[in-house]
Structure 1
Amino acid sequence: MSKPLFQVMKPGLLTTFQDLGRTGLQEFGVVVSGAMDEYALQIGNLLVGNDKGEAALEVTIVGPELKALEDMVVAICGANLSPKVNGKQAPMWKSFKVKKGELLEFGKPIEGARSYICVAGGFDVPVVMGSKSTFLKAKIGGLNGRGLEKDDILHGEGHVGVRTGRSIHPDKIPTYKKEMEIRVCLGPHLDAFPESSVETFLSSTYEVTPQSDRMGYRIKGPKIEHKTSADIISEAIPLGGIQVPADGNPILLMADRQTTGGYTRIATVISYDIPLLAQAQPGTKIRFRDVTVEEAQALFQKRAKLFRVLEKVT
């Protein structure tokens, strides 16, 4: 039975409900959306005893203030945005109890850009086309298709009692630095670029600009030239695809990316590194390293194995 869990005292910069997104509908023009950092979302859910794909609150850089209307078990994973309960530092990557009347709030961003608030039992928001995720531009999913607003009441699916103090091994907790190495698989449109452009892409340092959001990151650095044109016949866009439009400045396509695009793509970020990329704030420096498809698949299997193990013990 649904219960009120939180009253929103302050909404934060951008706080939305996100799960693993609307999969299988891109052919109909439906954007996937979902958590930018799927790793943090899934770990948080497992720590509170949920299915790993349950919806959570995605907090962006400046967090909300939430007043607890019920006792609950919570886990906060992802960026360290200085979470506090009643003014005292709250743990991260660990389940803990929040009591009725307490205030969950955030302070100075220490590391990373996005944090995830998971509650035992999950949040009660409508499922739209198979997902609770918010897609702001179409105003669908989540809480009326928008971010949190002051005085919103957030409901839970029904409190599920789990023990507190669940955590993961420290070496499974990522660190988010101001300089990142992001692994990519080159292609699929390498024939559109001279070899010198590929060398430039792999040897240069790029910076995430303020013109970045859940749809994509615009990055600045040495421009990437085309042999002739940046345009192609529109085709499906993958998560992590790196488009290079005519101005030569790459765009990294993220969770709210369009379903199709008509610009050449020089590479695709491997799925293992997408959660790391999701934590990049404007000003973060990025270098790209080419890996094989086989290496990317091995890393994917490594992470999938970790989740299988965690699902057995939670």
Structure 2
Amino acid sequence: MIEIVQTGPLNTVQDLGRPGYRAIGVSASGAMDPLAVRVGNVLLGNEQGAAAIEVQTFPFKIRFSAITDFAVTGADGTISLNGREVMAWCIHRAAASDVLEIRQPRRMARVYITVAGGVDVPVVMGSRSTTLRGGFGGNGGRPLAAGDKLATTPTDGQLPYRAVAVVEPIVALREIFPAAIDDVLPVRAIPAGEHELFASDAKRFWSQPWRISSQSDRTGFRLSGEPIKPEAPVEMRSHGVVPGVVQVPPGGEPIIQMSDANTAGGYPKIAGVIEGDLWRLGQARIGTKIQFVRSTHAEARSTEQSVDRYVEDVRRTATMVKRALRVIA
């Protein structure tokens, strides 16, 4: 069992989402940085999609009621267990009554707490993710509050855990993801259905940096910059949208659909962020500058394969280390 001791608004339970229900108006939801959740879970020996705690407002503090193995991944917040600083991207063991505290990250936006066995909240439509707009999933469909208690699977204390750590993806995958230049984050995208309707303005979409505005949340990132508009007014029926779709409303400042993406919309689509880049975008803070980089389906697929290989390497390495520690214990 985990007790929430201190929290800010909008911290929730998330897993990898509930795809397959958009046709009836249900957003997939899920972690804004799914890669952090996957890595934390495979470190602990969980299924990749086990539920975790997504922390985006700080400080955040929890108390363990039993021996529990856990990992903290995602943004590099200061992490302490009973006041002693501990590493991220590493398995730790908490004893009963231990307190874990996470402070504001120095970079990136969201921290994830995974625990052995996963956070045990009811499954709704195949997922434990919180959908705040719908008021379901997670911990009663709402953000976590001080005093809330979340069920977990107690650790028997016999499994080895020390020295099981991993190189974080921002380092391990640096050859796969383009680096930020002058604090501008490159975001790869593929032209979408209405791209050609923007004519010369489409060039500015790709060439100018955009800033993630304060009007951004888990539903979508609204970008600020020099507006872009189609050559002529566009009247469209509402159509399905998914995370990563970049829509352009009448004001001309694009909106990137994120984890709690709307299931349908009528704004023209100029591009779609490749799935492999969504975790980095999900870690971008309000005010971050981004620039879209034109990509291809082949590059998008290659990126996904590289990420999958990295996660599998983490799983294999963690398994081997645990096996070796068990032998010498």
Aligned pairs for 1:1-314 within 5 A: 4=1, 6-159=2-155, 161=159, 163-169=161-167, 171-172=171-172, 178-194=183-199, 196-313=200-317, 314=319
Residue type of the alignment partner of 1:240:
G
Task: Give the partner amino acid of 1:267.
Answer: A
SS of 1:128's equivalent? coil
Q: Secondary structure at the match of 1:232?
A: coil
Q: Which amino acid aligns with 2:115?
A: V
Distance 2:93 2:118 in 1: 15
Cα drift, residue 153 of structure 1: 1.2
2:188 aligned partner, one-letter code: R
| Structure 2 unaligned residues grouped into runs of 5+ | 320-329
Question: Does structure 2 conserve the Cα–Cα contact (< 8 Å) formed by 1:10 and 1:65?
Answer: yes
Which amino acid in structure 2 is aligned with residue 262 of structure 1? G
Q: Deviations over 1:49-73 (max 9, x none)?
A: 1111100000004142111211111
Question: By how many angstroms is 1:215 displaced?
Answer: 0.2
Task: Tell me if structure 2 keeps the 8 A contact 1:14–1:62.
Answer: no
Q: Provide the rounded CA distance (Å) in 2 between the counterparts of 1:13 and 1:165.
A: 34
Q: CA deviation at 1:310?
A: 3.3
Misfit runs of 4+, over 6 Å: 173-177
Q: What is the RMSD of the two structures over their aligned residues, measured on CA atoms?
A: 1.8
1:230, CA displacement in angstroms? 4.4
Q: CA deviation at 1:222?
A: 1.1
Moved more, 149-158 or 175-184: 175-184
| Paired residue type of 2:40 | G
SS of the residue aligned with 2:302?
helix
* In 1: Cα distance, 2:299 partner to 2:234 partner: 29
Change (3 A) 1:17 1:295: same
Give the letter for the 2:250 counterpart: A
Is the CA contact 1:63–1:81 (under 8 Å) kept in the aligned structure 2? no
Amino acid at match of 1:308: E
Contact kept, 8 Å, 1:61 with 1:81, in 2: the verdict is no
Question: Does the residue aligned with 2:151 lie in a helix, a strand or coil?
Answer: strand
Quote the offset at 1:179 in angstroms. Answer: 2.8
Answer with 172-181 or 230-239: which moved more.
172-181
Amino acid at match of 2:192: G
Letter in 1 for 2:166: I
Q: Deviations over 1:228-254 (max 9, x none)?
A: 224422111021100001100000100
Please, what TM-score do these two structures have when normalized by structure 1?
A: 0.93
Q: Distance in 2 between matches of 1:120 and 1:272?
A: 26
**Tell me, which stretches of 5 or more residues in structure 1 are unaligned?**
none
Deviation at 1:308, TM superposition (A): 3.2
Matched position secondary structure for 1:58: strand
Q: Percent identity?
A: 35
1:162 deviation in Å? 5.0
Change (3 A) 1:15 1:272: same
Give the counterpart letter for 1:121 in structure 2. Answer: G
How has the CA–CA distance of structure 1 residues 89 and 20 changed in structure 2, closer, same or farther, with 3 Å as cutoff? Answer: same
> What secondary structure, in the 3-state scheme, does the structure 2 residue paired with 1:156 have?
coil
- Size of the aligned set, in residue pairs, is 309
Judge which range, 98-107 or 278-287, deviates more.
98-107
Whether the 8 Å CA contact 2:68–2:154 is kept in 1: the answer is: no
More strand by share: 1
Provide the secondary structure at the position in 2 that maps to 1:289. strand
SS at match of 2:110: strand
What is the SS of the residue equivalent to 2:109? strand
